[in-house]
């Protein structure tokens, strides 16, 4: 599993960070999503999926 973020869609809402702070962050320059862990462990799939569903701009997805 690999997390992919489309920063051109990101609006900096930070929902992903609130759901999974270890996996996601926000750039101090523009507030857009930063992926802290590109390939998380399978045990974190639930958090990744919740972060994807929480993103208001649909900027996140998973590549299997």
> Which CATH number fits the domain that encloses residue 38?
3.30.70.20
CA 59 – CA 54 distance, rounded (Å): 10
Residue 26: name the closest of 18, 3, 63, 52 by CA. Answer: 18
Q: In total, how many domains does the chain have?
A: 1
- Please give the model's pTM, rounded to 2 decimal places: 0.92
pLDDT tens-place values along the chain, 64 residues long: 999 999 999 999 999 999 999 999 999 999 999 999 999 999 999 999 999 999 999 999 999 9
Domain of 11, in residue numbers: 2-59
Q: Is the alpha carbon torsion for 6, 17, 61, 1 positive or negative? A: positive
47 occurs within a structural domain: yes
64 occurs within a structural domain: no
């Amino acid at each position: 599993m690999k997390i992919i973020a489309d920063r051109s869609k990101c609006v900096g809402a930070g929902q992903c960070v609130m759901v999974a702070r270890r996996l996601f962050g926000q750039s101090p320059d523009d507030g857009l999503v930063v992926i802290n862990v590109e390939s998380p462990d399978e045990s974190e799939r639930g958090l990744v999926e919740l972060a994807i569903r929480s993103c208001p701009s649909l900027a996140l997805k998973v590549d299997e």
